[in-house]
Amino acid sequence: MTINIGVLVSGEGTNLQAIMDSVESGKINNATVSVVVSNKPDAPALKRAEKHGVDAVYIDPTDYKGRRWDYDQLTLKALREHGVTSEEGLVVNAGYMRILSPEFVKKFWMREMNIHPSLLPSFPGLDAPKQALDYGVKVTGCTVHFVDEGVDTGPVILQEALPILENDTVETLTTRIHEVEHRLYPEAVRLFTEKKLVVEGRRVKVLL
């Protein structure tokens, strides 16, 4: 059975690109990116989707300030129209700069992923590379996790560490983290689509 993937974006879409490339190359061979949904009309990720023949949908958030669930229902409708259901689909957050409502999260419980540029639970939230540099840690990295009702608090699927170099800036560190993300995120998606992820409480087991 082919799993339909819906990707939520707000920006450049480099992780979206990595996932689409993995689908097209056959690395992810039993899934398709069915739709890309953005809350930003000028998100470059939408153009990336269109170049790959993936439906790109912009949903204007202007009239929904403080009404997350009302807005999220429109997102949910767009996903369902493209076969991304809570029973069989997968939602992938790729630089999506909105906090989803609890109602939406529950619809896709343990069927929605996010990637974060740190080794969670360290440095959640915005500007994680800057947080790591400011704190003075020697190692950071990135984390793919399932989405729960908190901010960057869901069960960890995959993590990869990255040393912080003496001459690193926020820009250089962010670039190096992105390189890891572009490998790690498609791998997490592949494991999900091949039913090799088992969630037991806060632990996610990877089946061999």
Give the active site residues: 116
- Phi and psi at 8, nearest 5°, equal -100, 130
For 112-156, the three-class secondary structure string (H helix, E strand, C coil) is EEEEECCCCCCCCCCCHHHHHHHHCCCEEEEEEEECCCCCCCCCE
Q: Is the peptide bond before 121 cis (omega within 30 degrees of 0)?
A: yes
Nearest to 145 by CA among 76, 194, 179, 191: 191
What is the DSSP-derived secondary structure letter of residue 27? Answer: S
Rounded CA-CA distance 67/18 in Å is 32
